[in-house]
């Protein structure tokens, strides 16, 4: 090759690489506000350090108080809400090692309802939520705020459908929520009211509040039984997730957004296809991390502890290597053999460097799926796991193409990829190996690596 040809080819390669680099970036939230959790590849970052956590669901914090005495501001502060009970619960959770709590930020009921009538927002209820965030901050706990419910508890989307004169209850009926213009407008208005709120205790906007871990679009959304094609591909739900996730990002560019997805699908041997495929929905550019909700010994699931661990490992693998975002096991529990199941699933979270988990659920009593302060399971299983998750992990910069981890991309990496493609064996990190960002490692990545080396 003559010098002129080489120069021309080099410019072509440089152009290709410049165009190529943005497509390799994983979705990330960045902010300069201290205490707000962001993402870097498949990790959460808190104040410059990798943040991994063990936590819980505590869905009904918003009901702490009598929920009726709201005649005066003083009534709201001393009767409608029960600050002492909120503080006690936060204190107990913190002492048990809870770092993140997931809780409901919705209800259409008259008692403690955020929105009991269409478009009418209960200021007393939002004032109570202000205090939840203040108490969480005092106890060094971060909060995932769930904005709506697919299921009927506290009204959910059935109520929003009813307000538009539409039926709910069944999956095909509920599917209308995700396309009906009135339902979407209701949801958007509620999101705007919540996300843009200013905390009346601090006069600070929610978008700057480090107590908020993420906004969650919905508890367990699905677009089920409209058609077999939709059950499998999730096109309609993905469009809704994109639309609503984009809105929240515009209102609050500082905090993360999550889906609340369960992770069920026939291919996992766990549940059925329900119009909410794990990979495709979480590939939305407006979603910052993946979620799944394993309940392995439910009658419809029938998974033993080893199978449950394998399922969790599959989700983590898809999250890290295909979706390329952090993974959170956002709900889980079992009816029986809790220690065996919990240890099996926690073991995968720890070994595979998943980012967090939240058991269902912390409460003021123990029994069934609920645990309270002092429960033996919290001491025997949760506490050791929480301690492991709290260990500091240094941020390791990811350099695409640096396959051997020596800090540079060179001929040694090219040789390593050739060997891998010949043998198809060995450990890989998709963030480093998948150079053309197509979700697989093949000869196209080898060609891309060669182009990088020629520059």
Q: Which of 276, 258, 256, 257 is nearest to 266 (CA)?
A: 276
Ordered structural domains, the chain, with CATH: 37-396 (3.20.20.80), 399-454 (1.10.1330.10)
- Cα 31 from Cα 259, distance rounded (Å): 21
Q: Which of 116, 139, 118, 103 is nearest to 67 (CA)?
A: 116
Strand, coil or helix: 343: helix
Which residues, at least 6 apart from 254, have a Cβ–Cβ distance to it below 8 Å? 29, 31, 33, 36, 207, 208
* 325 and 351 Cβ atoms separated by less than 8 Å: no
Residue with tokens 């500082």: 254
Sheet holding 43-46, edge to edge: 38-40, 43-46, 49-51
Known catalytic residues are: 220, 331
Query: Which run of H or of E encompasses 345?
Result: helix 338-351
Question: How does pLDDT run across 263-272, given as a tens digit for each residue?
Answer: 999 999 999 9
pLDDT at 405: 57
Q: Which of 445, 447, 443, 434 is nearest to 42 (CA)?
A: 434
Question: How does pLDDT run across 254-298, given as a tens digit for each residue?
Answer: 999 999 999 999 999 999 999 999 999 999 999 999 999 999 999
What's the pTM?
0.83
- Cα 357 from Cα 363, distance rounded (Å): 17
| N-to-C CA span, the chain | 15
pLDDT at 30: 56
pLDDT at 4: 45
Tell me the CA distances in angstroms from 83 to 87, 130, 320, one per residue in order.
Answer: 6, 11, 40
Q: Which of 411, 448, 451, 454 is nearest to 432 (CA)?
A: 448
Burial 282-293 (b: 16+ CB within 10 A, else e): bbbebbbbbbbb
Q: Which of 213, 234, 418 is nearest to 326 (CA)?
A: 213
pLDDT at 412: 86
pLDDT at 325: 98
* 154 and 109 Cβ atoms separated by less than 8 Å: yes
Question: How does pLDDT run across 5-61, given as a tens digit for each residue?
Answer: 444 444 444 444 334 333 333 355 556 689 999 999 999 999 999 999 999 999 999
Low-confidence ranges of the chain (pLDDT < 70): 1-32, 392-398, 404-407, 423-431, 439
């Amino acid at each position: 090759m003559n010098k002129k040809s080489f120069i021309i080819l080099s410019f072509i390669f440089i152009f290709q690489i410049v165009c190529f680099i943005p497509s390799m970036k994983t979705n990330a939230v960045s902010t300069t506000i201290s205490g707000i959790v962001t993402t870097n590849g498949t990790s959460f970052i808190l104040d410059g350090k990798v943040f991994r956590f063990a936590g819980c669901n505590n869905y009904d914090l918003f009901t702490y108080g009598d929920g009726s005495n709201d005649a005066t501001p003083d009534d709201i502060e001393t009767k409608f809400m029960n600050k002492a009970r909120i503080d006690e619960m936060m204190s107990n959770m913190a002492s048990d090692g809870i770092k993140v709590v997931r809780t409901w930020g919705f209800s259409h009921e008259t008692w403690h309802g955020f929105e009991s009538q269409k478009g009418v927002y209960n200021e007393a209820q939002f004032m109570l939520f202000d205090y939840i965030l203040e108490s969480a901050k005092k106890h060094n706990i971060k909060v995932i705020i769930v904005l709506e419910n697919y299921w009927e508890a506290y009204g959910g989307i059935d109520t929003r459908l009813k307000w538009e004169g539409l039926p709910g209850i069944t999956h095909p009926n509920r599917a209308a929520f995700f396309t009906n213009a009135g339902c979407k407008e209701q949801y958007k208005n509620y999101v705007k009211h919540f996300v843009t709120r200013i905390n009346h205790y601090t006069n600070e906007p929610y978008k700057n509040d480090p107590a908020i871990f993420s906004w969650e679009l919905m508890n367990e959304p699905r677009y089920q039984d409209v058609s077999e094609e939709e059950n499998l591909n999730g096109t309609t739900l993905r469009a809704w997730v994109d639309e609503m996730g984009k809105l929240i990002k515009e209102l609050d560019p500082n905090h993360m957004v999550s889906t609340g997805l369960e992770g069920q699908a026939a291919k996992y041997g766990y549940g059925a296809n329900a119009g909410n495929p794990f990979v495709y929905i979480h590939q939305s550019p407006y979603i910052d991390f993946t979620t799944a909700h394993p309940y392995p010994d439910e009658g419809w699931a029938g998974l033993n502890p080893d199978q449950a661990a394998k399922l969790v490992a599959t989700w983590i693998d898809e999250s890290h290597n295909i979706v390329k975002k952090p993974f959170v096991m956002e709900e889980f529990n079992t009816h029986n053999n809790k220690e065996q199941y919990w240890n099996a699933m926690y073991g995968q979270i720890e070994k595979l460097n998943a980012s967090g988990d939240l058991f269902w659920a912390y409460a003021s009593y123990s029994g069934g799926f609920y645990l309270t302060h002092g429960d033996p399971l919290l001491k025997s299983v949760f506490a050791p796991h929480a301690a492991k998750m709290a260990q500091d992990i240094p941020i390791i910069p990811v350099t695409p193409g640096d396959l051997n981890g020596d800090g540079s991309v060179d001929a040694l990496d090219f040789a390593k990829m050739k060997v891998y493609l010949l043998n198809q064996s060995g450990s890989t990190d998709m963030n480093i190996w998948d150079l053309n960002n197509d979700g697989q490692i093949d000869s196209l990545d080898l060609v891309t690596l060669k182009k990088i080396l020629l520059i």
